[in-house]
Structure 1
Amino acid sequence: MKSSIIIFFVFLSIGTIAQVTFESNGIPVDSLNTYYGQNYLTLDPVSRRIAFTQDRSGLSDSFIEEQNIDGQEIILFTDWLDTPGMVSPIGFSDQWIYFNKVTLELGVYKGEVYRTESANMKPQRVDVPFLKNKSSVQSGCISKDGKYMILSMESNNTYGVEDLYVVKRKADGSWDSPKNLGYSLNTEFQEVTPFLAEDNRTLFFATNGRGGEGSFDIFYSVRQDNSWRNWSAPINLGDRVNTTGAETSFGYLDGDQWAYYVSSQDSDGYGDIMRVKFQEEIEEDTTQLEEVFISQDEDMPEMPSSILLKVVDSKSGEVLPAEMIVGDVKRMEVNGLFKIDSLTGEEAELKSLGYLPSVITLDEQLMIGENIIELASVAKGSVITLDHVLFHRGTSSMIEGSEKELNLVVEVMNDNPKIKILLKGHTDNTGDPVKNIQLSEARVKSVKEYIINQGISPYRVSGKGFGGNQPIASNESEETRKLNRRVEFEVVED
């Protein structure tokens, strides 16, 4: 191989300090609140306008209005409650206001991003490659400098339901594809209504996956590097903001002493706009880009230029003969290695006889070089956790999308007709132990019924709820407690 020069870009950062303190409890902004529900609040850092969604009943062709209330300029997005889908503002950049729009088409939700200059102009769709949202809701924000959008949506590679994604603006003004912000922020539950501070590092968001005062609490976290996947441990904003209700849509304007958010606590509708006095100390983004030139000589290995999927046993790491299915196209590789020629955004199923299949998305989350795909064996005695089979808090009602992983269980049982499984339901140890066992048994029953309804014989599926009696992690913190809330299946006969 000929000698060449490789340029590495190294990011150097001093680090960002973020401290947020509140001087009082939140109070309602009476001039903005109505008996309709107010949601998805965002602020204009230039003209200091405010935009939010208002939930109403009825049908109308108009969904964006401009109003002036007590001297405050308002951009109002009307979300008709009896119409499938929703709209929500993302934020302001240059002369544009960006917003989300979710529609229901042939039984499938479709999330998109639009922008418009005013309520009187026809919106333009913003091209975000590989944007795919399976949820009926979509929220987001845009950075003050217009370089980043943070979107909350349920895509193919979420950790649970709605996750947070970053979308970066390219030098030519177009947008890159969404990248998941990683497990440091995202949980198996919902992360919604992000707000990125002026440092482009400090991120506020609401979640129901980290415990707290109520259903949704507002947290903040600081980005640790330029991967957008390494974040500090999220910090709860505390009881001056968060209540036993649901708090979302936190945001503020530079130099203002007030922060705004939405709360369902004691609201007239589904949510009221609140404000709270606060102080923040956030350093500027001091990240610098340094070019490092390294000479590549004849002895250096050639850098990989292809995307490869390598299918292995999750325990031994042994390469497996495998099949990849994309749409109607099937490929078989005895060495378990698949070369990906193009990132189409389609789903690919990887399977090997005697293993639980895995589904991934062929998008830019995949790295150049080898991407390891681990498959779990379904040999007798194997215990497999169903990470994406999730339930609404305190109920046996499965969250939409859980059936995706259960369908893989059904598939592996059809492919291996002698397999019998024992479903195991687990909770953490908080609350009444008896009720925890009852809840875990109810959840197992829901899962069992789903599998049987897909044509699997009931004689092949049994189940038991264990409550909090079999933890796999500490119950001392919410971060580890959530690992104990799980559904597993054990192969009892193969």
Structure 2
Amino acid sequence: MLRILSCVFFIIYSSVVLGQDIIVQRMSDSINTQAEEYWPTISADGNTLIFNRLVNHKGLENEDFYYSTRDSLGNWSKAQPLSALNTEENEGAQTLSADGRFMVFTSCNNRDSYGSCDLFYSIKIGDNWLPPRNLGKAINTKAWETQPSLSADGTELYFVSNRKGGKGGMDIWHSKLLQIDNQGHMHWSEPENLNINTAKSEVSPFIHSDNKTLYFSSNGYTKQPQFDIYISRKQNNTFTTPENIGAPINTSADEIGLVVNTVGTTAYFASNREGNNKDIYTFPLPAAYRPEKVQILQGRVINAKDKSPLLSSITLQSATDSSLTYYALTDFKTGEYLLCLTQGETWRLSAQSEGYLFHNENIDLQNQELPYEYKDIELKPIEKEVRIVLNHIFFDTDKATLKSTSKLELEHVKQLLNANPSLKIELSGHTDSQGSNTHNQQLSEARAKAVYDWLVAEGISPERLAAKGYGEHQPVATNATAEGRAKNRRTELKVLSF
């Protein structure tokens, strides 16, 4: 009781002194026990918590994964072991991709390790986690690699290591995913030492879904031996001078493993602040320490004919900044996908699946206030007479000159033809009704021929292509409005044979 009262007094005292309305709460007994709980990870929707628990296994202390889910009333279920990934050795310090289907974690004394503790990954297929694989020699060394943090799209990795070339005891390193080969092995870039590292130790990095805001713990910025939580923001590929987030979050105890929910309002971390084993705590994140706002785009990719779920790859590229590109792979069982995106952008979405025509469209989220956007994507099977609009084929006004912004769509057409050698298609041009009938007919023919010529120049056999102009004679909308005329000015792809 005295310990509880002293903790409450500290929180109130710190909040008053700092003028902040922050209440740090120990999570319920559904999460915390008399054992040690630490390294929390929160799902993108905020309703699944994965963490580590130190358990007794055959008389030895062992780190295992546990998870808990939150119901509609905000109550957390009693934590259960994540049996698919737990072994008789130590596993922990996990990180999840935004869609919850790609996990990187630390495994110690594993027969596939290069050192005592290495980083491994597992992919969730349907309801099952695949056997873990080592992340490879670029990431893992004979030293100690641990505490990974993935970017939301799974293409960047931050982790902790005492490998050669560091600045202190434990440092934070950064690497980018280069490729996944045909055997499913991941290839990563040579890790770089972050500029925020000190001569002491920096641990438990967490890169938020905005891919700019980094939270971590350090004992190298003060003279105290305990670990405090810091924040730093990415600017021009480097990180700003770290800022201590202060009391009542940081205390005279160790605070580690802070993670922040996707919408940037709530944080979770582990601490031994009550004088006993580590527990997991939560608090509302002050505005000064919040990440940039992100938007979540989620939904399913389905068969346009029977609405069955599809395994599909999805790419989103900013319409104004091509360096802003996100990738996702749908769940093969449900067709579900989830992407965390920079807020206030217009996106060019592309979805592709084997045996189906691709789907491209623009998604305008510039004025979207809500953090979540739900969108199902329908793909048409490759069948004779099936057609799609090539939404991202653009021409100069009243000309047949392809704009450079058309290249991504043209590449998708080329990829479709290369992946399906027996496929023959018609490329058709269409106009609105403004201008003379003769001019519109000639313009539509010239635009279809421009796409045809680009594909032939890229190595596609002319025998597999037909180009035809339909002028203004096949409208899909009214020509009485600007919006309708824009829809009528289009290029289509139709399957002739397959």
- Pick the TM interval, shorter chain: 0.3 to 0.5
TM-score, with length taken from structure 2: 0.46
TM-score, with length taken from structure 1: 0.46
Give the number of the structure with larger relative contact order, counting CA–CA contacts within 8 Å between residues 6 or more apart.
1
